[in-house]
Chains A and B, each alone.
Chain A
Amino acid sequence: MTGNNQTPAEAPLRAEYWDLTYISGPLVFLKNGGRFPSGAILELTMANGEIRQGQVLEASTSHAVVQVLQGTQGVDVKGTSVSLKQEAATIGVSTALLGRRFNGTGVPIDGLPPAVVDKEMNINGAPMNPVARNKPNDFIETGVSAIDEFNTLVRGQKLPIFFGSGLPANEVANLIVQQARTRDASEQFVVVFGAMGITEREADYFMRSFDEGGQGGRVVAFINKANDPAIERVFTPRCALTVAEYLAYEMDYQVLVILTDMTSYCEALRQVSSAREEIPGRRGYPGYMYTDLSTIYERAGRIRGRKGSVTQMPMLTMPDDDITHPIPDLTGYITEGQIVLSRSLHRQGVFPPVDIIPCLSRLMNNGIGEGRTRGDHRQVANQLYSAYAQGLDIRKLMTIIGEDALSDMDKKFLKFAIKFERELIGQGWTRRTIDESLDASWKLLSLLPRAELTRIDTKYVDQYYQAEEETAATPVS
Chain B
Amino acid sequence: MVQTREPITGKLCLVSGPMIGASGMLGVSMGEMLRVGSLGLIGEVIRINGDTVYAQVFEDTGGMMLGEPVTSLGYPLSVELGPGLLGGVFDGIQRPLEVLRAMSGDFIARGLTAPALDRAKKWGFTPTVKAGQKVVGGDVLGTVQETRAFMHRVLVPPNVSGVIKSVVEAGEYTVEQPVVVLEDGSELAMMQRWPVKRPRPVVRKLPANQPFITGQRVLDCIFPVALGGSAVVPGGFGTGKTVVEQTLSKYCNADIIVYVGCGERGNEMADVLDEFPALTDPKTGDSLMNRTILVVNTSNMPVAAREASVYSGITLAEYYRDQGFSVAIMADSSSRWAEALREISSRLEEMPGEEGYPTYLSARIAEFYERTGRAEVLGTVAEGEEPRQGSMTLVAAVSPAGGDFSEPVTQTSLRVAGGFWGLDASLAYRRHYPAINWSVSYTLYLETLKPWFRDNAPKGWLENRQRAMELLQRDAEMQEIVQLVGPDALQDAERLILETGKMVREVFLQQNAFSDNDAFSSLEKTGGLLETLLEFYDLSKNAIENGVTLNRIMALPVREDIARLRNESNADFAEKRATVCARMRTDVAASATKKG
A interface residue numbers (CB < 8 A to B): 33-34, 36-40, 57-61, 87-88, 124-136, 156-157, 249, 278-282, 287-288, 290-291, 294-295, 298-301, 303-304, 306, 324-326, 329-330, 332-334, 336-338, 357-358, 360, 362-363, 365-366, 378, 382, 385-386, 389, 397, 400-401, 405, 407, 451, 454, 476-477
Contact = CB atoms under 8 A, between A and B. Distances in A.
B300 A298 contact: yes
Contacts of B63: 37-40, 87-88
B160 interface: no
A324 B404 contact: yes
A152 to B, nearest CB: 14
Interface string B96-116: 011011001111111000000
21 contacts: A60-B13, A60-B15, A127-B298, A131-B97, A131-B273, A132-B101, A133-B269, A135-B271, A136-B267, A157-B267, A279-B352, A282-B355, A291-B339, A298-B265, A301-B267, A301-B270, A337-B238, A360-B238, A360-B428, A362-B268, A400-B485
Interface string B380-411: 00000000000000000001011110000000
Interface in B493-513: 506
Contacts of A59: 14-16, 64-66
A109 B442 CA distance: 60
Contacts of A129: 97, 100-101, 104-108
The interface centre, meaning the residue of B486, B514, B564, B596 with most chain A CB atoms within 10 A of its CB, is: B486
Given A61-B13, A131-B98, A291 B346 contact: no
B211 interface: no
Contact of A324 (B65, B106, B399, B402): B402
B485 A130 contact: no
Nearest to B567: A457
B366 interface: no
B34 interface: no
B321 interface: no
A290 B299 CA distance: 8
B190 interface: no
Closest 4 pairs between A and B when the two form their complex, measured CB to CB: A294-B299, A324-B402, A332-B237, A39-B62
Contact of A451 (B100, B101, B560): B560
Interface stretch (B138-146, B201-209, B537-545, B549-557): B549-557
Given A294-B299, A385-B430, A397-B482, A451 B107 contact: no
A129 B109 CA distance: 9
A288 B64 contact: no
A37 B65 contact: yes
Given A130-B89, A130-B97, A363-B267, A60 B16 contact: yes
B430 A298 contact: no
A66 B263 CA distance: 28
A291 B343 contact: yes
Contact of A282 (B15, B261, B265, B401): B401
B403 A324 contact: yes
Given A38-B15, A334-B265, A386-B431, A127 B300 contact: yes
Contact of B266 (A298, A326, A401): A298
Contact of A389 (B101, B261, B429, B551): B429
Contacts of B7: none
Contact of B342 (A136, A156, A287, A385): A287
B16 to A, nearest CB: 4
Contacts of A40: 63
Nearest to B296: A130
Nearest to B62: A39
